[in-house]
Amino acid sequence: MKILLLGGSSFLGRAFASAALDRGHEVTTFNRGRSHSDLAGVEAVRGERDSADDLARLVEGRHWDAVVDTSAQQPAQAVISARLLREHADHYTFVSSVHAFSDWPALAVNEDSPLHPCPADTPPDQPPGNALKAGCERAVLEHFGADRTLILNSGLLIGPYENGGRLPWWLERMARGGPVLAPGDRERAMQVIDVRDFAAFGIEVVTARHTGRYITTAPTGNVTFGEFLATCREVVGEPSDGRPAAELVWVEDGPLLAEGPDSVLPWLELPLWAPDVPEMAGVWLADTARVQAAGLRCRPFTETARDTWAWLQQRGPAEDTDADGLKGRKGARHKNGIVPAKEQRLLAALA
């Protein structure tokens, strides 16, 4: 099968490219070539995906069996690609997110849950927001056709090459050793999916030309938050420079959410921490019955954590630490992670 990946070099796109190549498919990637290198074996075409001229050059004289779009963030981008590709591809898979559902994360969602009311003709360059993925979905369906379109609403993706700073942040925090602020309920059931499992399922349903929608994430409870953090600590082991090993210090939600200078932002300052509050009650409760029936299989979290730590060690210290102790590639502040000094203040006050 000939597959076009819009993206194809960074995290999810890379995983799709790898899964497709492993199964013997011919893969073309279309991206700017600025963030990461493409995998060996793909045909890499350079261009801006929101440029009609670049996309017209891509499709001229070509036809693909399937398109996998992992990179559209704005509805206008999806409009351009779906409109130009509808005569040059038989099937279109758009990777969306559970963020597209208006009830999430406050409520449990399934494939029939309402979407954010973001139209397909939303003007370009809107500020980032959860509603935009819903607009991208509508754009693809409108311009490519529901009878040839598959929507994959991803849950929380983790694994090697992760660029969201969630699992890597916790692994690198464990590597620094010492007392580690572990927030909330250690028995809180999670739904995290290895990006490689997501991509493997995606390629299978693409080649089978499925249409409709799948919420594509692990079943609730594939790991608890306590198991998640303990596994991160175990795979990292003890620091090699003689510092004390990481020690999880559990602190309840309430004190961390209390107003004041040391209030902690859920999800961002302590990645994947979803406190027991109404606005996050459904964050780990997406219905996965349909996707499991279609064949999604998820590896144990231990394997994901071990492989991600191995990748981090191979990658090496790619970040610079700023004055606040936060890490950021190429001078940019890391978008996730608590300032070390703040963590230490909280541990001293609350542990």
The beta strand positions in the chain, using DSSP E, are 2-6, 26-31, 43-46, 66-69, 92-97, 149-154, 156-158, 178-183, 189-190, 192-194, 212-216, 223-224, 246-251, 266-267, 270-271, 320-321, 327-328
Amino acid letter at 207? Answer: T
> Residue written as tokens 């990481």?
246
Structure confidence at residue 350 (pLDDT): 86
pLDDT band at 325 (very low <50, low <70, confident <90, very high): very low
Which of 31-40, 145-154, 221-230 has the least mean pLDDT? 31-40
Q: Which token pair is 241?
A: 């420079």
- Give mean pLDDT, residues 123-152: 94
- In degrees to the nearest 10, what's the CA dihedral of 257, 263, 268, 269? -120
- Give mean pLDDT, residues 278-291: 98
230 and 305 Cβ atoms separated by less than 8 Å = no
In this prediction the pTM is 0.93
Asked whether residue 276 carries a pLDDT value surpassing 90, the answer given is yes
Structure confidence at residue 336 (pLDDT): 83
Per residue in 209-257, pLDDT (tens digit) is: 999 999 999 999 999 999 999 999 999 998 878 889 999 999 999 999 9
The whole-angstrom separation of Cα 107 and Cα 279 is: 8
Per residue in 161-177, pLDDT (tens digit) is: 998 889 999 999 999 99
pLDDT band at 36 (very low <50, low <70, confident <90, very high): confident
Asked whether residue 271 carries a pLDDT value surpassing 90, the answer given is yes
- Sequence ranges of the domains in the chain: 2-154, 167-192+220-285+301-350
Question: Which fold would CATH assign to domain 2-154?
Answer: Rossmann fold (3.40.50)
